[in-house]
Amino acid sequence: MSGEEQKPGNTNRATGQQWIEALHIAFDAILSSRLRSSLTIIGVIIGVAVVALVAALLEGAQQFIADQAAGLGPGIARIEKAAFQDFIGDAQEFELAKARRPDITIDNLKALGDRIGDRLEIGALTGAALPVRFGNQFINGVTIQGVTPNISLLSTLKLERGRELSEFDDRFRRDVCVLGADVADYLFPFTDPVGKTIRLGAFSCDIVGVYAPIGSSIGASQDSFVQIPLNSFAKFFGARSRSIALLLRARPDANIADDEIEDLARFGMRQVRGLTPGEPDDFSLTTAKKIEAFAGTITGIAAAVLFPLTAIALAVAGIVVMNMMLASVTERTREIGIRMSIGARRRDILAQFLLESTLLTVFGGVLGLIMAAALVFILRKLTGFAVNLPLWAAAAALGVSVTVGVVFGVFPARRASRLDPIEALRSE
């Protein structure tokens, strides 16, 4: 073996020492220009934080809509006059549909039950907002829901106290109600509300039950409601002149797959409305799958618009990095000449400056992620919106920050590596 040959272990140790030395030089260079380095890092922080926040908000929006789909209940179809999912990007057409389409009435509910009620469990709900009062306590804007007695079979509601509404209550239009958890807690903080009488606007109603809490969504409570029988609602509010929503679900003994419920519900409703083949539906039919598909479409459109915009922030940060590194090359020309004169190769100089630019963006990327995580935490606490920073977004943000450091550091690094050693040594 010749004296110039090196063992693999020695080569690895030499390479490791070179990288350690390069890191020391990079840190020293960054610390020697603290103000300039700090401003550069701030640009990267903002760019990475914006990307991470957009990803977190889009993820939260998709999760929110998925939760709404889950709230509809597994295997549930909903028929209503017009649903916004059918009019993506056309709010005017949605409003026209609500104005022009015929109302869905209690008579439609009965007719649909006659046709497909042996295979599907069919219920209905409608609503109005009224103040609710008990003694000196009152709540404004409570949703008063008129529902069929089988509403618990067609929703995710769970009874906590008392009983549910019954067929007897509905048939005889009894003045009874079941409270949402927030209404019960506010009006009856220390007593059991079952058996008490409250006022819904100008009407009195006896409480027969209380539902378990559902929770909040985007900071808005989902438990501020009172349910009364659908026919009692008609007696109080004139439900025959307002549109209701129908809820449908396969009966346990009907052996109908979830995918078939939508077709059966549409077929039955078209018969009730007397629509001929070729005529469009004059109602909207929604399922959990349809809501999830809608969520995917909306978030996909938002991502296609927002992510390119956030890329502008990262591009600006990259330009700042490149400007700083070009200034650094100019200031350190003599240093580069000295290093080359004592044996540093062009690729060593190239790697050195790429390492410095990458370190700057990695620092900025990590701090940007911490900033985004803090903002997401605050947003979740203040609004109740189920927004989280997904792992893929954190990994992508760090990857992008490294890429920015490499891409925008190449030009200054190549410029440094191509300096003529003699000319560099003459530089002052």
**What tens-digit pLDDT sequence spans the chain (428 residues)?**
444 455 555 555 546 666 676 677 667 777 777 777 787 788 788 888 888 888 888 777 766 666 655 555 667 888 999 887 777 666 788 888 888 899 999 999 999 999 998 899 999 999 899 999 998 888 998 999 999 999 988 888 899 999 999 999 999 999 999 999 999 999 999 899 999 999 998 899 999 999 999 876 555 678 899 999 999 998 888 754 578 999 998 888 878 877 788 889 999 999 999 999 989 999 998 887 776 676 677 777 777 777 777 777 777 777 777 777 777 777 667 776 777 777 767 777 777 777 777 888 888 888 888 888 888 888 777 766 667 777 877 787 778 778 877 777 777 767 766 766 666 555 55
What is the domain partition of the chain in residue ranges? 18-66+298-426, 102-282
Pairing of strands 225-229, 137-147: parallel
Residue 3, pLDDT score = 44
Distance CA 319, CA 323 (A): 6
Distance CA 398, CA 402 (A): 6
Main-chain dihedrals φ then ψ at residue 221, nearest 5 degrees: -70, 140
CB 205 within 8 A of CB 134: no
Distance CA 284, CA 103 (A): 11
Pairing of strands 216-217, 76-80: unpaired
Give the DSSP letter of residue 86.
Answer: G
User: Strand, coil or helix: what is 83?
Assistant: coil
Q: Report helix angle 288-331 to 34-72, nearest 10.
A: 180
Residue 304, pLDDT score = 76
Residue 2, pLDDT score = 45
Give the DSSP letter of residue 280.
Answer: P
Residue 104, pLDDT score = 92
Radius of gyration of the chain (CA): 33
Q: What is the pTM of this model?
A: 0.62
CB atoms within 10 A of CB 219: 9
Residue 381, pLDDT score = 77
